[in-house]
Amino acid sequence: MSSHSPARLRLHDSRQRRIVDFQPIDPGHVRLYYCGPTVYDLAHLGNLRANLTADLLVRLLRVLYPRVTYVRNVTDVDDKINARAAELGISIGTLTDATLADFHADLAALGVLPPDIEPCATAHVGEMIAMIARLVEDGHAYEAEGHVLFSVRDFPGYGQLSGRDPEALLAGARVEVAPYKRDGGDFVLWKPSPAELPGWDSPWGRGRPGWHIECSAMSHRYLGESFDIHGGGTDLIFPHHENERAQSLCAHPHGEFARFWVHNAMLLVDGEKMSKSLGNFLTIRDILARAPAEAIRLLLMRTHYRSVLDFSDAGLIEARRELDRFYRGLEAHPGVVAGALPDSVLSALTDDLNTPAVLAAMHRLADAAIAGDARAASGLRAAGAQLGLLALDPSEWFRGGEDAVEIEAAITARLEARRVRDFARADAIRAEWLARGVAMEDGPAGTTWRRVPAGGTA
RNA sequence: GGUCCGGUGGCAGAGUGGUGAUGCAGCGGACUGCAAAUCCGCGAAUGUGGGUUCGAUUCCCGCCCGGACCUCCA
């Protein structure tokens, strides 16, 4: 167990590559920005991991500080969107609206709280153009063949976030370097857009923004030149965050952009990398069809956010069993309400979001609650509320669903079989229902039932 | 090839310069018609070779293995 003060947040900062004390710029108002979805397809488990990490961080910050503003953008102008809309034969707006609605529904199903501000890129092109114009004016960017490019040579801090050698970055991509770039590492701020694709008038002609500028423009608009935390997956560190940082620091040289950078590690599925380009990604919807939402949520919290997580069905079943244990703790104290968040839970959370340690603390609370400790049950409830877990009534967790009448009838039939000591028949009924995902359990007070993974051995 | 991260019981997964959490699985016992749940108890791990140290799983170096990034990615 960590021994630091429970209310002092220690957080890993990617730029410094170490765990540091989190010091907000304004302790009265913590501000953070996360890179949100590009809305062209259903969200997958990797997206969920990033958004859940943000959710846990924001929930914790709200406990520690009086005011938190969490901004998560929506990328609704992008080449992948254009391609997808054309492929489906629908308008870009139809695609982005529908995808965003799906995204919201999926995250809500997982208990991920919405951000305070969710700006769309297409609503902030004016801010992007203004920022690009400023970069051009100050000599940090140049126009070439209708494109506007950021000059990485010009920014001495380039490479600092991702820990890369600036000289090597000047060379840029290994494969192709557009001929109009001064240095291979220069990246696009603005590019020309043909009539059939989304475009906006600009000082450089009709065009659309490059990938990175929207986050710089929108974080500035809503959080200012300097804010506390910027987050996302580790795969965004380079080039996306490195470029955002370069743009923002050059456009606003008196600001510090993001003070702390929080990045979650990638997720594997059965040991394999999951990515959109490989096409092997599991969507949030796929998994919701296979397991209770809280089990999915807990599964993701069983691994620290900075460690690679290998998603598997076995893990899902284990997560479900852990929740069984927690709900048994609550079931032992009907009507228990959340009390104060136990220090064991808070100190684990403030220790760089050590969720595995939080779960260990919750197991101790559940053990105590089952043994009769009402205060522990109350603490367990509070821990669950903090993590976005244990939101159900125990009876709903164990016995929710629609076939309760049929199950009760089977139990009655089985009790009769037991009464006449026809144990073969009693066992057959129990086995049949277990295969259907219902475990029948005989106790001193009669027979109860609960749901288990279908075909399971629980 | 370059940069970075990591290797902990059967599996999952934390922490720590000095008795190595927690969960799942397993084993023994209580309870049960038998199970389940619950309770009591048990076994089980720091990739490898060096170095620093009174002491290393932890710090340093080499090696082996895995992963990430290197301009689509959460």
Q: Does an H or E element contain A250, and which? A: helix A242-251
Has residue A278 got a pLDDT over 80?
no
In a domain, A300, yes or no: yes
Decide: helix, strand or coil at residue A127: helix
Q: Is A187 found in the same domain as A84?
A: yes
pLDDT of residue A205: 93
In a domain, A241, yes or no: yes
CA A436 to C1' B38, in angstroms, rounded, equals 24
Q: Does an H or E element contain A371, and which? A: none
Q: How far apart are CA A12 and CA A304, in angstroms?
A: 12
pLDDT in tens, A35-77: 999 999 999 999 999 999 999 999 999 999 999 999 999 999 9
pLDDT of residue A445: 82
In a domain, A38, yes or no: yes
pLDDT of residue A163: 83
Q: Is A378 found in the same domain as A365?
A: yes
Has residue A449 got a pLDDT over 50?
yes
Q: How confident is the model at residue A172 (pLDDT cuts 50, 70, 90)?
A: low
Q: Is A308 found in the same domain as A426?
A: no
In a domain, A317, yes or no: yes
CA A19 to C1' B51, in angstroms, rounded, equals 27
Q: Which of residues 238-297 of A touch strand B (CB under 7 A)?
A: 238-240, 243, 264, 266-268, 273-277
Q: Which of residues 14-73 of A touch strand B (CB under 7 A)?
A: 17, 35, 37-38, 44-47, 49-50
pLDDT in tens, A371-427: 999 999 999 999 999 999 999 999 999 998 888 899 999 999 999 999 999 999 999
A120: annotated binding-site residue? no
pLDDT in tens, A190-224: 999 999 899 999 999 999 999 899 999 999 999 99
8 A C-beta contact, residue A258 and residue A229 = yes
Q: How confident is the model at residue A275 (pLDDT cuts 50, 70, 90)?
A: low
pLDDT of residue A174: 53
Best CA proximity match to A72, nearest among A104, A99, A32: A32
pLDDT of residue A175: 53
Has residue A167 got a pLDDT over 90?
no
CA A185 to chain centre: 30
Q: Is A441 found in the same domain as A308?
A: no
CATH number at residue A63: 3.40.50.620
Residue with tokens 């901004």: A71
Q: What percent of chain A has pLDDT over 70?
A: 95
In a domain, A264, yes or no: yes
Q: How far apart are CA A55 and CA A59, in angstroms?
A: 6
Residue A118 Cβ under 7 A from any strand B atom: no
A215: annotated binding-site residue? yes
Count of domains forming chain A: 3
Q: Is A321 found in the same domain as A412?
A: no
Query: Mean pLDDT, to the nearest integer, of A297-309?
Result: 94
CA A306 to C1' B51, in angstroms, rounded, equals 30
Domain boundary, last residue among A377, A398, A419 = A398
pLDDT of residue A457: 42
Question: Which nucleotide comes closest to A423 if you measure CA to C1'?
Answer: B33
Residue with tokens 């069809």: A289
pLDDT of residue A458: 39
* Sign for the pseudo-dihedral over CA of A173, A175, A179, A180: negative
Greatest distance between any 2 Cα atoms in chain A: 92
Question: What does the CA dihedral A17, A18, A22, A23 come to, rounded to 10 degrees?
Answer: -70
Q: Is A310 found in the same domain as A216?
A: no
CA A17 to C1' B49, in angstroms, rounded, equals 28
Protein contacts on strand B: list nucleotides below 7 Å from a Cβ: 1-6, 11-16, 21-25, 32-39, 67-74
pLDDT in tens, A91-150: 999 999 999 999 999 999 999 999 999 999 999 999 999 999 999 999 999 998 889 999
In a domain, A161, yes or no: yes
Q: Is A368 found in the same domain as A417?
A: no
Structure tokens at A153: 């040579």
Q: Which range, A13-22, A110-119, A169-178, is most confident?
A: A110-119
Structure tokens at A197: 């694709």
In a domain, A274, yes or no: no
A143: annotated binding-site residue? no
pLDDT of residue A116: 97
Query: Mean pLDDT, to the nearest integer, of A424-449?
Result: 91
Domain boundary, last residue among A200, A235, A268 = A268
Please indicate whether residue A178 or residue A316 has the higher confidence score (pLDDT).
Answer: A316
| A424-458: b (≥16 Cβ within 10 Å) or e | eebeebbeebbeebbbbeeeeeebebbbbbeeeee
Q: Is A365 found in the same domain as A305?
A: yes
Q: Is A423 found in the same domain as A386?
A: no
In a domain, A280, yes or no: no
Has residue A319 got a pLDDT over 70?
yes
Which residue range(s) make up the domain with A95? 21-268
CA A308 to C1' B7, in angstroms, rounded, equals 12
Q: Which of residues 135-174 of A touch strand B (CB under 7 A)?
A: 152, 162-165, 168-169, 172-174
Q: How far apart are CA A53 and CA A48, in angstroms?
A: 8
Q: Is A329 found in the same domain as A245?
A: no
Q: Is A210 found in the same domain as A88?
A: yes
CA A271 to C1' B49, in angstroms, rounded, equals 29
Residue A413 Cβ under 7 A from any strand B atom: no
Has residue A3 got a pLDDT over 50?
no
CATH number at residue A394: 1.20.120
Question: Which nucleotide comes closest to A359 if you measure CA to C1'?
Answer: B22
Q: Is A101 found in the same domain as A216?
A: yes
Using omega within 30 degrees of 0 as the cis cutoff, is the peptide bond preceding A119 cis?
no
